[in-house]
Amino acid sequence: MKVMIVEDEMLLAMELESEVQAAGHEVVGMAVSSSQVPEIVRDSAPQFAFVDIHLQDGPTGIEVGRMLAEKGVPYIFVSGNIKKLPRDFAGALGAMEKPYTMNGMANALAYIDAVVRGEEDRLPPASLVLAEDVTYPSRAAAQ
Amino acid sequence: MPDIDDSQSDARRAGERLVGAHVREDPFAAAFKATRMPMIVTDPNQDDNPIIFCNAAFQRLTGYSNEELLGKNCRLLQGPETSRATVGRIREAVSAGKDISVDILNYKKDGSTFWNALFVSPVRDDDGSIVYFFASQLDFTNIKSKEAELAAARHQAEAEVAERTDDLQESLAARTLLVHEVDHRVKNNLATMASIVKMQVRLTEDEGQRHALLSVLNRIEAISTVQRKLFTTNDVARFDIGDFARELATDLVEAIKRDDIRLTMDVSPVLVPAVKATPLSLIVNELVGDAVRRGLADGGGEIHVVVRRLNGHFLIRVEDTSEPVEPDPVSAELGLRMLEASASQVGATIEKRREGRRTIVDVTLLVENKDTSH
């Protein structure tokens, strides 16, 4: 599976890259801000993407996600605060909340790989939050 | 000015007629004169409906003498602040020959004001014609000013409450923002710590070192998961240890990718104070980790995780059925120490027993009342 990583924390991005590679996938592009994404999508045709909400040019991850959804690239959000996500998750398969565990990421990768290959009846792992699972307890208080 | 003298003497004569109609000992007349309720009688059959009689209480209230009042219309009590609308209502009632009860601001002789609860009522003769108007007054200035004070106090209190509420909302918003910011930084730092350890795991060739690093990583990840789950419930001061146990056990067993390990769970939501989240989560982490170390990873078997309330207690049970193998002594000792330290921090008791191939570890602690815990 050709994977793109959109993450502004370099250490985390590199670690994720290693984990993706260890699971037998190829990382075809890494972006730290939203502006770098279209080029990677055009030139490297990723089959899947990890997208952080907060990037170097601000909370632009959600826009990146909508763009990927439009282009038919499946993706999940990886973020420290998934409550910032819109309720429809901007078309994402799901979200992993940071800090995730190695097991959590390995299970999520296995699930994603299966979904991208067209397996549909597989249950998502506990580490992957789906849009319908999210309750928004502090949303009112935070605004 | 003879006209005025004439009208005054007319009024006086009318008053005298009124009093003269009553015998000297008439208790009603005596009561009228002596009562502390200010009262007057006017004669609508004379020009301008003048006062023809007033009692001593009325004179005391208004500051006018009997002479000054007789022959005058009641409008001498009006002043610039008197409501024209109220005066109009009185005039209408008098012309219509009806009773009226109104509150009106009146003026005394010295120019000071008083709130007058005025009652005016026509007095009719046997034919039904109006012969007099009777009016009683009640000075309720004190009540009125208390009302005003109360209203002012209420307005002030309301304004203060509104201001205070704004302050509180502002500081709550600031606090919420701060909590989220700090939470975000803590999560990021934990993720960075885990990344550093993982990086070293990948770089190291030595199996012993790798093992030690993974053991550290395992605990960092347990604490990271606690931090991640701290703000997911509606109550930020509470942590669902059941939810933690479910995710930890399923993630661990799923990641081992072994069909011969069967995980079953009896886990219900158990909310614990946030301060106890880390030690309790480490307990769950050690128990599940220990079960895997003691043989599940080698020979497969069954693992059963229980988190539930039980008669005022709360129970964490991890039960496994496996061919026991001798665990690595350092790992075993670390696991034991972590378990003991965490249990002693939250005042939990640990009970471990073996039944053939089954190992059962029960950790129990008293559930606190919601309001005494924090």
Buried b (16+ CB within 10 A) or exposed e, B12-42: bebbeebbeeeeeeeeebeebeeeeebbbbb
For the residues B37-44, what does the mean pLDDT come to? 92
Contact assignment for A18 to B198 by CB distance below 8 Å? yes
The chain-wide mean pLDDT, for chain B, equals 87
Question: Which residues in A lie closer than 8 A to residue B199 (C-beta atoms)?
Answer: 11, 14-15, 18
Structure token digits, residue B71: 């022959």
Band of the pLDDT at B332, cuts 50, 70, 90? Answer: confident
Half-sphere exposure of B182 (CA within 13 A, CB side): 8
Instruction: Report d(CA A24, CA A5) in Å as an integer.
Output: 15
In CATH terms, the fold of domain B2-139 is Beta-Lactamase (3.30.450)
Question: Which residues in B lie closer than 8 A to residue A12 (C-beta atoms)?
Answer: 191-192, 195
Contact assignment for A126 to B176 by CB distance below 8 Å? no
Residue ranges, CATH 3.30.565.10, chain B: 235-366
Could you state, in chain order, the average pLDDT of each consecutive group of 10 residues for chain A (143 residues)?
A: 94 93 95 96 96 94 96 93 86 92 92 88 86 54 37
Whether the full predicted model's pTM is greater than 0.80, yes or no, is no
Quote the Cα angle for B38-B42-B47, to 5°: 150
Which letter does DSSP use for residue B22 in this model? Answer: S
pLDDT for residue B373 is more than 60: no
How many percent of chain B have pLDDT more than 70? 94
Contact assignment for B194 to A99 by CB distance below 8 Å? yes
Across-strand partners of B103?
B117
Contact assignment for B225 to A101 by CB distance below 8 Å? yes
For residues B144 and A48, the model is more confident at A48
What is the pLDDT, as a whole number, of residue B142?
85
Contact assignment for A15 to B195 by CB distance below 8 Å? yes
ipTM reported for the complex surpasses 0.90 = no
Instruction: Report d(CA B246, CA B160) in Å as an integer.
Output: 49
Looking only at the bridges linking them, the beta strands covering B301-310 and B313-321 are antiparallel
What is the pLDDT, as a whole number, of residue B297?
66
* 3-class secondary-structure state, position B257: coil
Cβ contacts from A onto B, under 8 A:
93
Contact assignment for A81 to B180 by CB distance below 8 Å? yes
Q: What is the CATH number of domain B235-366?
A: 3.30.565.10
| Amino acid identity, position B253 | V
Q: What residues of chain B, 318 to 337, have a C-beta less than 8 Å from chain A?
A: none
What is the pLDDT, as a whole number, of residue A30?
97
Contact assignment for A99 to B224 by CB distance below 8 Å? yes
Return the beta strands (E) in B161-255 as ranges: 238-240
- Specify whether the CB–CB gap between A133 and A96 falls below 8 A: no
pLDDT for residue B21 is more than 80: no
Q: Which domains does chain A have, with CATH numbers?
A: 2-133 (3.40.50.2300)
pLDDT tens-digit series, residues B131-143:
999 999 988 888 8
Structure token digits, residue B172: 């709550």
Structure token digits, residue B211: 């093992």
What is the pLDDT, as a whole number, of residue B18?
76
Q: Which of A84, A88, A44 is nearest to A69 (CA)?
A: A88
Q: Is B330 left (phi over 0), alpha (psi -120 to 50) or beta?
A: alpha
pLDDT tens-digit series, residues B158-180:
999 999 999 999 998 888 888 88
Q: Across chain A, which distance is largest between two alpha carbons, in Å? A: 43
Instruction: Report d(CA A6, CA A61) in Å as an integer.
Output: 8
Q: Is the dihedral of CA A38, A44, A50, A56 positive or negative?
A: negative
Which one of A16, A19, A79, A101 would you mutate to disrupt binding with B, by most B Cβ within 10 Å of its Cβ? Answer: A101
pLDDT for residue B89 is more than 80: yes
* 3-class secondary-structure state, position B271: strand
Of A23-32, B162-171, B221-230, B235-244, least confident by mean pLDDT is B235-244
Instruction: Report d(CA B359, CA B351) in Å as an integer.
Output: 11
pLDDT tens-digit series, residues B304-321:
999 999 888 899 999 999
For residues A17 and B19, the model is more confident at A17
Residue ranges, CATH 3.30.450.20, chain B: 2-139
What is the pLDDT, as a whole number, of residue B232?
66
What is the pLDDT, as a whole number, of residue B146?
87
B169 touches chain A (CB under 8 A): no
CA closest to B243 among chain A residues: A126
Which of B177, B233, B251 has the CB atom closest to A137's CB atom? B233
In chain B, DSSP finds a helix count (H) and a strand count (E) of: 11, 12
CA closest to B177 among chain A residues: A142
pLDDT for residue B218 is more than 50: yes
Q: Whats the size of chain A, residue-wise?
A: 143
Q: Residue B349: what are its φ and ψ, rounded to 5°?
A: -105, 145
Which of B198, B234, B251 has the CB atom closest to A126's CB atom? B251
What is the pLDDT, as a whole number, of residue B372?
40
Across-strand partners of B42?
B51, B133
Structure token digits, residue A57: 């040019």
B350/chain A closest Cα distance in angstroms: 27
Which one of B168, B210, B226, B232 would you mutate to disrupt binding with A, by most A Cβ within 10 Å of its Cβ? Answer: B232
Instruction: Report d(CA B225, CA B239) in Å as an integer.
Output: 11
For the residues B82-102, what does the mean pLDDT come to? 93
Contact assignment for A99 to B227 by CB distance below 8 Å? yes
